Chains A and B, each alone.
Chain A
Amino acid sequence: MKDKTTPSLETSKKDEKRYSTLNLGPTHPATHGIFQNVLTMDGETILGAEQTIGYIHRAFEKIAERRPYYQITTLTDRMNYCSSPLNNIGWHLAVEKLLGVETNKRIDYMRIIVMELARISDHLICNSVIGVDSGALTGFIYVFEEREKIYEIYEELCGARLTTNLGRVGGFDRDFSPTAIRKIRELMKRLPKILHEFENLLMRNRIFMDRTINVGSISAERALNYSFTGPCLRAAGVDYDVRVNEPYSSYNDFDFIVPIGQNGDTYDRFCVRETEMWESMKLINNALENMPEGKFNAEVPAFYMPPKEEVYSKMEPLISHFKMVMGEIDVPKKEIYHAVEGGNGELGFYVVSDGGRTPYRLHFRRPSFIYYQAYPEMIVGSTISDAILTMSSMNIIAGELDA
């Protein structure tokens, strides 16, 4: 155990005080995933915590070294499964950077719509679960209907709901159907009303505020030291957003606010996520209004399955079909790092290519893996019920933590 969070045995002997050890997890119903924290407790106060992670490690980085680039998309689905389209598109953007592919504005805008929808669904789950852990189940049930609507949109776009495998390297496998666009517009009409009601339930609720303000707070300096990113860092008061700092996918065409908190506590994280949802809606509406005409995929035939009837009748599609299936794709020898603003923060892909069909090395920078290490520091001195609330407000996703 670490010294900084654990009282030394000597003092406990001297004070004749008995500390109890409590296993929070691995499968505790309140932790929403497989996390184990061995807590040292003095009565109800937490004195120290030791984390055990790796319960659902699936060796994604190892598997990725044996898979062609286009098959790695399905691995990224299973990291942060609350916003899988975001991970998919992040990976596609990384491969495009590696290949040096330029996409047109229509693809960028389509991607922004999908990514922001994913961000909304991610934040909806996180915020409603903060409500559940503080005892308010109503909001959770209420917004889950909207999450369902977002999943219906995914279904319309790619056929899957949770692990989406959405899009292809260089764009999409198909255009937005009229039904998909109608569903997005309908959602954009419904969501503001629902979100207002959800905020009315919690945001100025006395009980909720008492439970969340000054709970699990972290200062900006400590958060930077721990490499926090995403809503958790912004709640601590640092304006770091990959969409603004390193714009990708034409985010610089749009005007949006990056919300900042002050105390870095649970309430600030809740509010930052709420505001981000409003900003995401603004982005989706803008992108829908200004969507330019054009093709929905860039010219990278090595990453698209050509239509089957063409494969049987024409030469070129047959060649590219064969090349794609056999993985004989020319990829330049490069090292690239590409990051997108995921649901939890900076989701980075460090790809080392030595020219083969598979990456030589692929490292996923998973945001919640990195900021989970600050969790013991954030819960020391608080009670168990607050620790649960802190964890849910950090939105630690087990799949992303262990990869």
Chain B
Amino acid sequence: MSKEELKQYLEVTYPDLEVKETVNFPLLLVNKEDVIPVLTKLKDASETRFNFLFCETAVDRNPNFEVIYHLTSTYYHHDLEVKVILEDRENPVIDSVYGLWEAADLYEDEIYDMFGIRFKGHPNLRRIMLTDEWNGFPLRKDYQDDKIISL
């Protein structure tokens, strides 16, 4: 499907979700609770078949967090961006998509390491880049460290 067709398809299929557009891809805003059902449907539906999670990352929009999934289909060559907004800054939790794409293993480890977002159902959530006893989560906007020198 082309970008416009995909946008229309999403508007029809998910009437209660917000469909937007970024520079590259159609953008689907998903509620935190619906991540697994929506992504499973996107992966399995014969119209979309998003079988390839090519990027998963997070952005700290202080005070909210955004978790972003970039999906593509090797059958139809269309792309989609899915965005989930997490409002709980103290204890951000979201369902892991490890069951759908095993690539999420290290993606989610990295997000946990840098943002402190916990992934429910992830088999082995750990700090991969930093040491286990590291204080705070560096890519959060309110991260404080005495060693950061401002020029």
Are the C-beta atoms of B105 and A373 separated by less than 8 Å? yes
A350-403 contacts to B, CB under 8 A, are 350, 352, 360-361, 363, 365, 369-370, 372-374, 402
Are the C-beta atoms of B24 and A336 separated by less than 8 Å? yes
Residue B12 at the chain A interface, CB threshold 8 Å:
no
Residue B1 at the chain A interface, CB threshold 8 Å:
no
Q: How far is the CA of A2 from the CA of B106 in the complex (A)?
A: 13
Q: Number of A residues whose C-beta is below 8 Å from B?
A: 38
A179 cross-chain contacts in B, Cβ below 8 A? none
Residue B117 at the chain A interface, CB threshold 8 Å:
no
Are the C-beta atoms of A370 and B106 separated by less than 8 Å? yes
B60 cross-chain contacts in A, Cβ below 8 A? 361
Are the C-beta atoms of B103 and A227 separated by less than 8 Å? yes
Are the C-beta atoms of B51 and A53 separated by less than 8 Å? no
Of residues A224, A337, A338, which shows the largest number of chain B Cβ atoms within 10 Å of its Cβ? A337
Q: Which residue of A lies closest to B102 (CB)?
A: A225
B106 CB to closest chain A CB (Å) equals 5
Which residue in A65, A245, A363 is a CB contact (below 8 Å) of B55? Answer: A363
Are the C-beta atoms of A54 and B129 separated by less than 8 Å? yes
A337-B70 contact, Cβ under 8 Å, with A57-B130, A62-B138, A360-B59: yes
Q: Number of B residues whose C-beta is below 8 Å from A?
A: 32
Are the C-beta atoms of A53 and B128 separated by less than 8 Å? yes
Which residue in B81, B102, B130 is a CB contact (below 8 Å) of A337? Answer: B81
Are the C-beta atoms of B22 and A227 separated by less than 8 Å? no
B102 cross-chain contacts in A, Cβ below 8 A? 225-226, 373-374
A53-B129 contact, Cβ under 8 Å, with A335-B23, A337-B81: yes
Residue A61 at the chain B interface, CB threshold 8 Å:
yes
Which residue in B25, B101, B114, B124 is a CB contact (below 8 Å) of A2? Answer: B124
Q: How far is the CA of A240 from the CA of B77 in the complex (A)?
A: 9
Residue A274 at the chain B interface, CB threshold 8 Å:
no
Q: Which residue of B lies closest to A373 (CB)?
A: B106
Q: How far is the CA of A16 from the CA of B129 in the complex (A)?
A: 37
A364 CB to closest chain B CB (Å) equals 9
A369 cross-chain contacts in B, Cβ below 8 A? 106, 110
Are the C-beta atoms of A62 and B55 separated by less than 8 Å? no
Are the C-beta atoms of A370 and B107 separated by less than 8 Å? yes
Residue B40 at the chain A interface, CB threshold 8 Å:
no
A233-251 contacts to B, CB under 8 A, are 238, 240, 245
A229-B54 contact, Cβ under 8 Å, with A59-B138, A334-B23: yes
Q: Which residue of A lies closest to B27 (CB)?
A: A335
B22 cross-chain contacts in A, Cβ below 8 A? 334-337
B23 cross-chain contacts in A, Cβ below 8 A? 97, 334-336
Are the C-beta atoms of A54 and B128 separated by less than 8 Å? yes
A98 CB to closest chain B CB (Å) equals 8
Of the A-B pairs whose beta carbons lie under 8 Å apart in the complex, a sample of 27, sorted by A's number, is: A3-B123, A54-B129, A54-B130, A57-B129, A57-B130, A61-B139, A224-B51, A225-B101, A225-B102, A225-B103, A227-B101, A240-B52, A335-B23, A336-B22, A336-B23, A337-B24, A346-B54, A350-B55, A350-B57, A350-B68, A360-B59, A363-B55, A365-B55, A369-B106, A369-B110, A370-B106, A402-B129
